[in-house]
Amino acid sequence: MLSRVAESLYWIGRYVERAEDISRLLDVHVHALIEDPWIDSVAAATDLMGVMGMTSEPNELDTGSLAHRLSFKRGDASSIAGAIIAARENARGVREALSSELWEALNATYHSLAAHENAAARQGPAPFFRYVKERAAVIGGLLDATMPRDDGWRFLVLGRSLERVDMTTRLLWSRAGQPGTSSGWAGLLQSCSAHEAYLRTYHAAIEPERVVEFLVLDRLFPRSVYAALVQAEACLNDLDPSSGRSGLVDASRRLLGRARTDLEFRTRQEMLDDLPEMLDMLQRSVGAAGDALSERYFHQGMALSWRAEADA
């Protein structure tokens, strides 16, 4: 597979997952604010921006403008619309590597953005968040049903998995940094579609340490950090089946494997005690793994420029 194509596929995976996760995050955040009359909405908005790695002027944003900023800002891949546009732009350049259905799903999603932005201005953003989640499900379903499990699929799923680790970490951060109400933690679970799964697993009320444990370490829930890391490792392993019998050659796999084992054998209490360090470690690992991946698979020769005459 062409390096350029592999890189685009990886980023399509990341952007689609990102659009979905921001929708999930905002959906819960916006509606929690509406339901809870005591929350300081400006502070909450500023916090959320911080978690997304963006700065805002103090008091600049309230819930409405935050939702709009994170939903519709074009030209910024940290917004939902921006991520969808970026995913589609990448897909346009590698159409021959995607199934037609998958391409069409991405393209149709892109084309309906404007209509949804108009509708959101009139009816509020909830239908838009729902729409994005549904489209992401369609895209995920087509990925599952129409793509052969070759390297193309692996790069797509790899991108999706790494983005999921990154975004779930951010979600945890957004919650853990705030005063603990159980409705807030329930909201966090909902934003990961994990509320019912949590209840069925623990048969118990919402407790912060269990929520963290579930979202980080649950072996069976597909949106947990652990599950995403395992999936990413599996993709990397399949991409390079020739790796030697002793010692790991692939840097990104080593980074992810190390992060996973670090999580895997922690107790619930240890996890909670070191929460900030652990989240930080996860984000750094994902970032470094992405760099290693790029170094190994996507690296292009230096762009050359040609001129008519050589300089004397």
Partner 1 sequence: MPPQPSSPSATDLFHGYRLQEHGAYDELFRAVGDPWPSSASLYEALRSLSTEDLDGRSVALARAFRDQGITFSLSGEERPFPLDLVPRMVDAQEWETIERGVSQRVRTLEAFLADIHGVGEVLNEGIVPRRVVMSSTAHSRAGHGVVPANGVRVHVSGVDLVRDEEGTFRVLEDNLRTPSGVSYVMENRRAMTRVFPELFATHRVRPVAHYPELLLAALRAAAPRDVDEPVVVVLTPGVYNSAYFEHSLLARMMGVELVEGRDLTVRDDVVWMRTTYGEQRVDVVYRRIDDDFLDPVHFRPDSLVGCPGLLNAARAGHVTIANAVGNGVADDKLLYTYVPELVRYYLGEEPILPNVDTYRCEDPEASAHVIANLDTLVLKPVDGSGGKGLVIGPQATDEELATLKKAVLADPRGWIAQRVVQISTSPTQVGNKLAPRHVDLRPFAVNDGEKVTVLPGGLTRVALPEGSLVVNSSQGGGSKDTWVLASAADTDTEGDDGRPPLLPPPATRQQPKDGPGVGDQQQQQQQQQGRSSC
Q: Is the distance from CB of 166 to CB of 280 less than 8 angstroms? A: no
Q: Does 15 bind partner 1 (CB under 8 A)?
A: no
Of 179, 199, 171, nearest to 20 (Cα)? Answer: 171
Minimum distance of partner 1 from residue 2's CB (angstroms)? 5
Q: Which of 100, 123, 193, 267 binds partner 1 (CB under 8 A)?
A: 100
Rank residues 151 and 166 by Cβ distance to partner 1 and give the closer one: 151
Q: Which of 31, 68, 73, 95 binds partner 1 (CB under 8 A)?
A: 95
- For 214-236, the DSSP string reads HHHH-SS-TTSHHHHHHHHHHHH
Considering only residues 28 to 47 of the shown chain, the ones binding partner 1 according to CB under 8 A are: none
Binding mask 130-159 for partner 1 (x = CB under 8 A): ---------------------x--------
* Structural tokens at position 69: 């900023």
Q: Does 308 bind partner 1 (CB under 8 A)?
A: yes
Considering only residues 218 to 257 of the shown chain, the ones binding partner 1 according to CB under 8 A are: 239
Rank residues 21 and 233 by Cβ distance to partner 1 and give the closer one: 233
Helix 41-51 × helix 63-72 angle, to 10°: 30
Q: Is the distance from CB of 297 to CB of 3 less than 8 angstroms? A: yes
Of 137, 135, 141, nearest to 108 (Cα)? Answer: 135
Q: Which of 34, 74, 93, 114 binds partner 1 (CB under 8 A)?
A: 93
Which alpha helices (H) appear in 36-146, and where do they start and end?
41-51, 63-72, 80-93, 100-111, 113-123, 126-146
Rank residues 89 and 209 by Cβ distance to partner 1 and give the closer one: 89
Q: Is the distance from CB of 185 to CB of 206 less than 8 angstroms? A: yes
Minimum distance of partner 1 from residue 304's CB (angstroms)? 7
Minimum distance of partner 1 from residue 119's CB (angstroms)? 18
Rank residues 95 and 268 by Cβ distance to partner 1 and give the closer one: 95
Minimum distance of partner 1 from residue 118's CB (angstroms)? 18
Q: Does 294 bind partner 1 (CB under 8 A)?
A: no
Minimum distance of partner 1 from residue 185's CB (angstroms)? 37
Q: Does 107 bind partner 1 (CB under 8 A)?
A: yes
Minimum distance of partner 1 from residue 175's CB (angstroms)? 38
Q: Is the distance from CB of 238 to CB of 154 less than 8 angstroms? A: yes
Q: What is the DSSP letter of 98?
A: S
Minimum distance of partner 1 from residue 97's CB (angstroms)? 8
Rounded Cα distance between 17 and 133, Å, is 9
Give backbone dihedrals phi and psi of 133, rounded to 5 degrees, phi first: -60, -40
Q: Which of 200, 204, 244, 300 binds partner 1 (CB under 8 A)?
A: 300
Rounded Cα distance between 246 and 193, Å, is 40
Residues near partner 1 (CB under 8 A) = 1-6, 89, 92-96, 100, 103-104, 107-108, 111, 151, 239, 297, 300-301, 303-308
